[in-house]
């Protein structure tokens, strides 16, 4: 199973366009996970056109999105339990620490999170922590990014994909 992973799109209705690189990169995804900070429901609708979508709200999402999606969930995909959380608030420490602790004592194989806009992957106590970065708001990162999870039997692989700002054709 191929899962596209996105977070922190921070798009508003006046510029509601996904990068072409992201759209093309998610073409083979059987599922997309978004770890919050859509900022506009239209982003959800754009991603949902590419593949089935599972998502949570982030700290920059309006109350309507928080109500629809919640802030934490566990899904089963490819036979694996995947926790999804934005990664803000709740616990002290780094964003990966907050994401990890938000699923104690739940049993998960993977935790997908965002918030920091920093691509990250680490195995901790048998759990893969994965942050795709941001495909639209790289902040202090050198490049935009998204990720993929590949579930093959018992194995879970991951990959980050990096790209530069796209020029318009106009």
List, for residues 34-48, the tens digit of each pLDDT value: 999 999 999 999 999
For residue 170, name the pLDDT band (cuts at 50, 70, 90): very low
CA distances from 51 to 28, 54, 118, 138 (A): 9, 10, 24, 24
pTM as predicted: 0.94
Q: Mean of the per-residue pLDDT values for the chain?
A: 94
Give the 3-state secondary structure of residue 62: coil
Per-residue pLDDT tens over the stretch 70-126: 999 999 999 999 999 999 977 778 999 999 999 998 999 999 999 999 999 999 999
Question: 10 Å Cβ neighbour count for 68?
Answer: 12
Three-state helix/strand/coil letters over 8-56: CCCCCHHHCCCCHHHHHHCCCCCEEEECCCCCCHHHHHHHHCCCCEEEC
Tokens encoding 98: 């907050």
**Which pLDDT band, with edges at 50, 70 and 90, does 167 fall under?**
low
pLDDT at 76: 98
Averaged pLDDT for residues 138-156:
96
Categorize the per-residue pLDDT at 12 as very low, low, confident or very high, splitting at 50, 70 and 90: confident
Cα 101 to Cα 115: distance, rounded to the nearest angstrom = 15
Spatial distance between the Cα atoms of 162 and 42, rounded to a whole number of angstroms: 24
């Amino acid at each position: 199973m191929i899962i596209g992973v996105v977070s922190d799109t921070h798009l508003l209705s006046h510029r509601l366009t996904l990068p072409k690189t992201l759209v093309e990169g998610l073409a083979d995804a059987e599922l997309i996970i978004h770890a919050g900070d859509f900022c506009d429901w239209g982003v959800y609708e754009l991603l949902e056109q590419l593949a089935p979508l599972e998502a949570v709200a982030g700290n920059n999402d309006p109350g309507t999105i928080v109500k629809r999606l919640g802030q934490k969930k566990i899904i089963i995909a490819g036979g694996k339990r995947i926790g999804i959380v934005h990664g803000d608030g709740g616990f002290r420490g780094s964003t990966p620490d907050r994401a990890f602790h938000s699923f104690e004592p739940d049993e998960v194989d993977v935790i997908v999170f965002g918030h920091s806009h920093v691509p990250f992957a680490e195995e901790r106590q048998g759990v893969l922590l994965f942050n795709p970065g941001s495909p639209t708001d790289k902040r202090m990162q050198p490049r935009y990014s998204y990720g993929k999870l590949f579930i093959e039997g018992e194995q879970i692989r991951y990959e980050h994909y990096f790209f530069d700002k796209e020029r318009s054709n106009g």
